[in-house]
Amino acid sequence: MTTEALDAVPALEIEHLSKTFPGVKAIDDISLTIARGSIHALVGQNGCGKSTTIKVLSGFHKPEPGAQARLDGVPFALGSSDAAAERGMRFVFQDLGLVGELDALDNIGLGLGYARGPVKLIDWGAQRRRTRELLSRFGVAVDPSAPVGVLSPLEQTAVAVVRAVAGGIPGRGLLVLDEPTAALGHREVDQLYRLVREVRDAGTAVLLVSHRLDEVLAIADDVSVMRTGRIVGGGAVRDMTVPGLAGLIAGSVAVTGVAERDEQPRERTAPALQIRGLRGRTLRGLDVTVGHGEIVGVAGLLGSGREELGYAVAGASDAPVEGVWQVGERRMTAMTPDAAARNGIVFVPASRERESAFPELDVRENLLLAALPRMRRGPLVHARWERPFAREWLTRVRVRLNSMDDQFATLSGGNQQKVVLGRWLAIEPRILVMSEPTAGVDVGARHALYDLLKERARGGLSILVTSSDVQDLLHLCDRVVVLRDGLASRELEGPEVTEPEIISAMEGA
C-alpha cells in the first residue's frame, strides 16, 4: 500500500463491539473510527464503558462474537494482547506500569528489550545512548539513571509514554492514553500534551480517555461520548463546547435528583465540623463545613483532591496533612485516627476489601469491631452481650443474611457495605465521613443505603460524602462542593444539584 493510500485508511476501525458481564451490559454494539494522525477523545461518566472498551482493545477482556477490528486497514483479533502489540497498539494506563525502584533506562528496557552486543549480552553503553535518544526525541529531560520513583508525576508519565511510543511502528499504529493527566497540574498538563501532539504529528493516532472536558477540547481532533455502554454522540472537536459535551454525557437529564429533594435549599444548621486551610498531597488550602444533620457531598475529577479528602478529614491520610479542625467547640491543628474517634468522627473508606473489612471473619465479628470496648468488663468481653447487640444493629441497617455467623465474604456488596456502616453507626458518632459509599453495590442496595443515610441525618448525624458517582451526590446531598486542583471551585445547593451542573462544574465550564 502506498503512503498516500495508507494515509486515507483509518488508524482504527471497530464494529459491533459488545461485552457483557453477569447482569451488566458493559458495551452494547459500539462502532468507533479513529483517523490516522489524529487525537480522538473518548469521554463519559464512570461506568459508561470506557474502561471496558480499552481492556478489550488491550486483550484483557474478550469481546462477544461478531466484533470486528482493523488497525491501519489490517484486520486483527480483538481480545488478544499479542495481536494488539504486533499491530502496533500501545497503552499507557493510569498506574503507568513503571517500576519505581528502577531507572528510566531499565523501565524502557523492560518494555522494549535491551540493546545487545555480539554475544547477546546487554550492551549497557548502547542501551544508555538509546534511552537518551528516545527521551530527547520527544523533549523529555529526565536523568536516565535516576529511579523513576523519585521523578515528578509529569516525568513518570513522560517515561511511560516514550516507552509505549518507541515500542510501536513509527508513524503508524495507535497509542491509548487512559486518564494521563489525573495526577498532573495545569502546567504539567500542557507539557504532557506537547509530547502527545508530537506523537500525533509523527503519524501515530492517539485514543485519549479523559474526564477533563476542557482539556479534551484543547488537544483532541475528534471526540466520542459513551453513556450506558453505547456511543451516543460526538464529532469534530471544533464543533463542540464544554456545556454541550457535558449535556451529551449526562443525557436527556430526566434523572437529575431534583424530584427527590426540596426545591429550596435546606435551612443551614450550626456547624458540626469546620475545617480551614486543609492541605495535603493534592489539597491546597480547602475549607469545608458540615452542619448538624446535614449531608454534604464532594465531587471532583481524579487528581482534584476528592480522593484524598475523606482520609485527610479523618486523620487517615498516608501523606502529611495540615489544617485547622473545629468539631463543635473544640479546635485542633492536627488530626489522627485516635483524635477523630475521641471527637466522634468515623470514616468509611473507599475500598471495603482493603481498608474496611475482614473477609475471613464472620458478619457478627465485622460489625462488632468498633463496639467491643463498650462490652468489656476488665480484660474480658461479655459474649452474652455480643449477639443481641449485633442482631439489633444488623436489623437497623437492614442487612439480609441467613446467619450472622456467615463469613463476611459471602455477602453481596450492598450487604457488606451495610455491615461496615452499621459498625460505625453502632458507636453513635457525631460525624460520618464516607468515600465512594456505593462502590460495588447494586441498584437496589444503593437506594437502601441512601434511605439509611438520610434517615440517620434526620436524626442529627452530620455526613460528609466524597464520590465519583454523580448519582450518590444527587440522591443524598443537601449541598455539593466541587473540587478542582485541590480547591473548592463551586458549591451547589437545592435545585442547583443536578447532573449537568455537577458535571459542568467538575469540568470547569
- Confirm if 34 and 207 have CB atoms less than 8 A apart: yes
pLDDT of residue 357: 86
Amino acid at 253: V
Cell numbers at 50, concatenated: 470506557
**All residues at 6 or more sequence positions from 64 whose CB lies less than 8 Å from its CB, including other chains:** 18, 19, 20
| pLDDT over threshold 60, residue 474 | yes
Domain covering 252-262+270-344+461-509 in this structure, CATH number: 3.40.50.300
pLDDT interval class at 285 (50, 70, 90)? very high
pTM for the model stands at 0.62
Cell numbers at 503, concatenated: 458535571
| pLDDT over threshold 50, residue 111 | yes
Q: Beta strands 487-493 and 174-178: pairing type? A: unpaired
Domain covering 3-20+37-99+153-250: architecture = 3-Layer(aba) Sandwich (3.40)
Span 335-353, pLDDT tens digits: 999 999 999 999 999 887 7
Amino acid at 209: V
CB burial readout 291-306, b (16+ within 10 A) else e: bbbbbbbbbbbbbbbb
pLDDT of residue 104: 84
| pLDDT over threshold 80, residue 254 | no
Angle CA 77–78–81, to nearest 5: 90
pLDDT interval class at 255 (50, 70, 90)? very low
Phi-psi region of 162 (alpha: psi -120 to 50; beta: other; left: phi over 0): alpha
Helix axes 104-112, 153-166, angle to 10 degrees: 30
Distance CA 142, CA 196 (A): 17
217/144: higher pLDDT:
217
pLDDT of residue 3: 55
For CA atoms 396, 399, 403, 407, the dihedral sign is negative
pLDDT of residue 259: 35
3-7, 118-122, 294-298, 363-367: range with lowest mean pLDDT: 3-7
Span 260-271, pLDDT tens digits: 444 456 677 889
**3-20+37-99+153-250 and 252-262+270-344+461-509, same CATH topology:** yes
For residues 245-265, average pLDDT? 55
Domain positions in the chain are: 3-20+37-99+153-250, 252-262+270-344+461-509
Span 305-332, pLDDT tens digits: 898 999 999 999 988 999 999 998 899 9
Residue 224: name the closest of 502, 20, 471, 31 by CA: 31
| pLDDT over threshold 60, residue 98 | yes
Let me know how many helices (H) and strands (E) the chain has, helices first: 17, 22
pLDDT of residue 265: 61
